[in-house]
Structure 1
Amino acid sequence: MLKLRPFDKIPVQQNVDPVLSKHPEAASRSIEVKAMLNYKQLHHFWIVARAGGIVRAAERSGLAPQTLSGQITTLETALGVSLFKRQGRGLALTETGRMMLDYAEEIFRLGTELEEALRSRATGRAVPFRVGVADVVPKAIAWLLLAPSMDLPEPMRIVCREGKFDTLLGELAIHKLDVVLADRPLPQNMDVRGYSHALGESTIAFFATPALAATLKKGFPECLDGAPLLLPGAEASVRGPLLRWLEAAHLHPRIVGEFDDSALMRAFAEAGAGVFPSAARVGEQLCRQAGLVHLGDAGGVIETYYAISVERRLTHPAVRAISDAATAPAPRGHPESC
């Protein structure tokens, strides 16, 4: 069963340096900073930090290098901190500068989102909800997770992009996406500022066409020994646990196909090319719509699904709808009823 949990009641993993905890003096100046922060200067800092230098920032923004340099100097003086340091011929962010960039990214992302929402409301247009779905996530699972975003009072226009996990994270980092759905959390070693929110999980079951199932003479799981098997590709987080489960059960199926794309693997399974593993939560759908039969479950093999965002406290109405829906119990039903 797919067990959904609200974002606010689960641990959140983050990839952000805890600078304030290392520099309590910065926290002690927080009240003073509130009065001094100039958002125009902050915007100029943000432009330079993202460009990696004043000259490149000037070329991209059309502003004079002297203007950008002067604004950053004024900002550093007002805050009493150094935001950049010399590195070769260019500039590199200080630790405080990296912290400042984290906040600036969030501030200007929210500003852009607010402008889009206001324009959409004024014109009656649907608010865009840009979602990246890792290609290893079953499409039926992605629909279950995203469906609540389609039932909001405000009109929502969902824009789904499917792709490789790393590619989608890159688009999330530059705010081309609002959220990424994946079968793993954000890796700690990735240079992406973001947060991983566990959405839910499902056990894994095996399915086959009736014709193929009829050729498997033994009961489950022994019927998998020597059977043609379709496997998710190396990037799927569930692949390793599945292989270990087969090894522990002393089962040696014939691997006839490996697929990065879960939909393509399902298409091969529906054509009778082999037995294939999928989330038990969507088992009834596989049996009813695709005409497959449920062979059995891989006991102890769990696939967990995550929403990865650039914000810790989720503000986009569609993402909040997904979070709220996580409090509702999943519909009952098990592949064994197929």
Structure 2
Amino acid sequence: MTQAKTKAQTKPCCDTAPAIAYLIGVDGGGTGTRVVLADPDGKPLARGIAGPSALAHGRQQAWDAILLAIDYAFAQANLALPALSVIAIACGLSGVNNAQWAAELKTLNPGFALLLTETDAGTTLIGAHQGAPGAVIALGTGSVGEVLQSDGQRREVGGWGFPVSDEASGAWLGMRAVNYLQRVLDGRAATSRFADALYAHCGGDKDAVFRWLAQANQTRYAEVAPLVFQHAAESAFARSMLLDAGREVEAIADALDPTHTLPLALCGGLAAALMPFLPDTLRQRVRAPLGDSASGALILLQQHLRST
């Protein structure tokens, strides 16, 4: 069945106020938060970073991370943080397609004059092609594909959430790696330097592994992913995982644009690392994004302000 629209279109939510002094674009995921601070004309002034702000980790925690990143951005710009009532903000966040979480985030607005919410996939798409038609696949803690077609329609592939989705993401790789460790500890798979590294990462003894598993979430599994890349040259299992990830990326790309006519960008923290493991035909189609998710959120904010 052809998917005609995104599974969850998140409409911007907003509370307007006069005298906007600063604009802020936010990119928030399961690993970290990145913001771009701009003047009222959209000229970037500084950037800030903080910890995770994926809504699955909690809506107040998301605001805490966003505010911390904003504080950092103002400090980088040598500016005093003004009242939030003179700031307009657009947030591209993991989990916004959950309507309840998005509503809770809006309710907890700490006082921004204008608040727009969008999925991080949506702002990644806008940033990568500067608002023009194209497709993106975001590969980080999680994964999702998004396409803006020439007729203006948007469609999403993947993005169903951890642990049942997020193919080729850091969390997906980490979970598969930890499963491999379990098999080695059981004697169902041969040990290796890769398994030794995983064992050390998870605590170094079986009881510690159980404790690690009890506390494991999407972010913790994603923290295992670098070990997969580090051991790909020597471990056939690690390399096979990465080749599987490359095929998953190809499947997402084909679902987004079956005709292969739109520009395609890979974004996110794992995009560059996964490039060598993509099928050759896909690698030839990929181009570098023109901007990131935070800049996409800023473009979304400017578009909204111009329209109002």
Is the TM-score greater than 0.5?
A: no
Higher strand share: 1
Q: Which is bigger in relative contact order (C-alpha 8 A, separation at least 6)?
A: 1
Q: Which has the larger radius of gyration?
A: 1
